[in-house]
Amino acid sequence: MVFQFPTFVFSRTTADDPYEQNRQMKRHPSLTVGVVLVALTSTLVVNYFFESFLFAQEVSNANTVGKQIAILADEAINESSGIVRSYTNPNCFWTHNDSGDKPRLFLVNRDGKTVARVGLSKAKAIDWEDIAIHIVGDDAHLIIGDIGGNTQSRKHVTLYFLREPKLTEDDLNREVTLDLSVDFELEMEVTFPGGVTNYESIAVDHSSHSILIVEKGNLSGRVFTVPLPSFLDDKQRMRVEAKQVGVAPVPMATACDISADGRSLVIIGYSIGFLFRREISAAGELESWKAALEREPAVFSLGKLRQTEAVCFSEDEKSIFFTSERVQTPIFEIDLPINPNR
């Protein structure tokens, strides 16, 4: 199903600015409780509005919601918060839990079996929210986004970079789950103009050699970019400031991914997906993300599922995979409303 998404115009006043709110709360601590109650109420209202809008439509759910392709039997995967297709391990995905778990990844196959659990030595898991993959020739590097900021008290968020573990064919087919420990290659501390808010989505834009980070806001979220690092030096830690490149009209953005050619951006929230496409100029240049985000996206239902917080493109990029947070985690696949390769 594809339906027209109502067009909203949101303007941010000083009162809506999260940094100004933080400054006001520091000056007037008694405001904190009131602000928290208002935020919780507005979040519930936004979620109710969008779910009501989606499911009030004439939908034939059997044809429009995701097709379940696997159930992750591993009960240690209880809050799948990021997913990406493996580049070096055929027919596998990487996923990880939300906050509260160890700093570890799970390699799962399309049958739902956990092939390997991979711990990241020396890494922290404050609030892991998303995972992305950077392809360089025949090499692949995983990027883990420790970027959650529900309390808005972090001075920076962290991106961990590691070379993707490549398992042997015997390891991929063994009966017992393999337990590994690896070191990360780079720890990137990311700051934001005005301070950290809350983010749950990262994706690699290979066309501009950068990483997009999407803010999670009630009605929309700012989109930032940081450069992909070079792995030719021996740095293990670096700090960068993110640069804002646009605003995504996506309520409660929980995950995103970018197609290999850098043209398509999918962002999901709770029960809803948004697909943005960048135009190509006569000179063959991609337009900016700012321009693409200002056009009306294709909007589609993910079905009425519990907390959809992980997404990635399929290999042919005509569909997406996503998960729903719960024990016995399901992986779904859904065809995109338009062909992103057009």
* pLDDT tens digits, one per residue of 106-150: 999 999 999 999 999 999 999 999 999 999 888 899 999 999 986
CATH number of the domain at 195, please.
2.120.10
Please provide the DSSP assignment of 107-164 as one string: EEETTS-EEEEEEEET---S-EEEEEEEEETTEEEEEEEE---TTS--S-EEEEEEEP
For residue 178, tell me if it sits in a domain. Answer: yes
Residue span of the structural domain in which 174 resides: 18-335
Residue 2 domain-assigned (yes or no): no
What CA–CA distances, in Å, run from 65 to 55, 83, 303, 311, 340?
12, 18, 5, 14, 18
Per-residue pLDDT tens for 254-267? 999 999 999 999 99
* Three-state DSSP state, 50: helix
Residue 100: predicted pLDDT? 87
341 is a domain residue: no
Kindly state whether residue 319 falls inside one of the protein's structural domains. yes
Structural domain contains residue 4: no
Q: Is residue 3 part of a domain?
A: no
Q: Does residue 184 sit in helix, strand or coil?
A: coil
Residue 224 lies in a domain: yes
Radius of gyration for the alpha carbons in the chain, expressed in angstroms and rounded: 20
Domain count across the chain? 1
CA distance 282 to 79: 45
Give the strand pairing for 199-205 and 92-97. Answer: unpaired
Give pLDDT tens digits for 1-49.
333 344 333 333 333 344 344 444 444 444 433 433 334 344 444 444 4
Element containing residue 72 per DSSP (H, E)? strand 67-72
CB 262 within 8 A of CB 286: yes
- Predicted confidence at residue 340, as pLDDT, reads 54
- 11 falls within a domain: no
